[in-house]
Amino acid sequence: MFTEENINESTISELQDAMQKNELTSRKLILHYLSRIASIDKCDGGLNSVLEVNPDALFIADTLDAMRVNGTVLGPLHGIPVMLKDNISTGDKMHTSAGSVALQDNFAPYDAHIVKLLREAGAVILGKTNMTEFANYMTRENMPTGYSSRGGQVLNPYNKDKHPGGSSSGSGVAVAAGLCTVAIGTETAGSIMSPAMQNGIVGIKPTLGLVSRSGIIPISSTHDTAGPMARTVRDAAVLLSVIAQPDPNDFATQSRKFSLVDYTKYLDKDGLKGVRIGINRSQKLDNFALSEEEKAIFENMCKVISNAGALLIDNVNIDAESGPPFNMREIMQNEFKACMNYYLSTLHGSTKIKTMKDIIEYNQANAAVALKYGQSILLEAENNTSGTMTEPKYIDALNRREEVIAEFNRLFDDNNIDVMVCETFTNIAAFTGFPSMTVPIGQKQDKIPIGSFWISRRFDEKSLFRVTYALEQILNARYNPCK
């Protein structure tokens, strides 16, 4: 018999089964999460991961419960509460601000495409999660991950003295702490991977072009993508299967023949057998170098996957500093102004902020609240780029990106590998648009989880799900920090 105590760690399929058996309703599920938000997140010393709750959540749940009673189930997320990072537009009674007080009055006049797909699949959008302001692309003045001027500081549920990862900080914490079933984050350069790893959950940054970018407060059209954050690989697969659909308003999703995929079909507990896995041991980025404790956990994982039948090809190395360097910063900076100004134009007067310049001027006029850590990146983008993306350095960086994509493809080909696992995080997947994924593999003495970092070929999320699901079943390394 399903009980309320089961909810915190229940998967989507388990919750669906309980609702189908009349042991649970979507309304009871929402109320359970709201109670946890009040007692764990919004209390004194709370985690501060939830920025806003949907005022219509219970009414939506009632509607979905009535539909189920009448024999109608919209899809795999029918009645399931989903949290959204605060840079994802919703055409409802919630704000979309990217954590910025400059956009705190913005009620977007439309749903982002992925939100439309979530609603069509029966999801209840439970609320918006706090985040590193403007997805950690506001200032170079040491803004902590998980801090925003609108929401304040997100705390890590495993150890409140440690950072929560960013910029999808609130989404990672809310999932880890059992404040929702699953969440959506966004990534430009590590913003899903970092909080997923730091909070002991599963995260996937899909291939650029697999998931729509429209309706999301942007940084870079070349790098931005939304992706699932979940407690299990299966839940991440369910969520990606829903949001990975073409969007008529996003050409990136139309650049290839698109076929809808149910990624749960590729979950196999024996999925490591016969898989060729390249190991990237490059550690030229000192701030991502492994401690001895982390090395031991990584080596244990390698032993586990080898014992499960995978073939390991060691020292297949590529990272941000190998060969002629790629200039991710040049691309991001030049695209930021153009992309932000276009997004703001789609709001049709729902906020007084119309341009990036308006954001800067608002922040300057309200510096005590808005500029605790400055806005150097906003100023650089406004003052040093044209917003037309015609700068020669930008175009050179795009061409270098094409070269790196070809180099990365050859690395997979020459070593005949299916997937790559990296000792440390690298921006290579974000720069090239290759998909990446993380799943917990252990825990440090300071209680912070350790996540593995996986990369596959573009549009081969199937291989990522295959290997990470099998690894998850063997290690079972995740635990709830807020039981």
Residues marked active site are found at: 85, 167, 191
Residues 46, 177: Cα–Cα separation, whole Å: 11
Residues in the chain: 483
Q: Helix or strand or coil: residue 356? A: helix
Contact at 8 Å (CB) between 90 and 157? no
Residue 54 CA to residue 77 CA, distance in Å, equals 17
User: Both tokens of residue 322?
Assistant: 């190998």
Structure tokens that stand for 22 in this block: 């009349």
| CA–CA dist 66, 26 (Å, integer) | 10
107-111-116 Cα angle (round to 5): 155
The Cα–Cα gap between 156 and 448 comes to 9
User: Do 226 and 204 meet the contact criterion of CB atoms below 8 Å apart?
Assistant: no
User: What DSSP designation does 120 have?
Assistant: H
Rg over alpha carbons for the chain, rounded to the nearest Å, is 21
Using CA atoms, how far apart are residues 94 and 51, in angstroms rounded to an integer?
Answer: 10
CA 318 centroid distance within chain:
23
Residue 200, amino acid: G
Is residue 271 within 8 A of residue 310, CB to CB? The reply is no
Query: CA-CA distance, 454 to 388, in Å (whole number)?
Result: 35
| Cα 462-272-275 angle, rounded to 5 deg | 75
CB 318 within 8 A of CB 475: no
Q: Give 263's Cβ-side CA count (13 Å radius).
A: 28
Collapse the DSSP code of 474 into the 3-class scheme (helix H, G, I; strand E, B; otherwise coil) and give the result: helix
Which pair of tokens denotes residue 372? 């605790």
Q: How many contiguous H segments (helices) and E segments (strands) does the chain have?
A: 16, 13
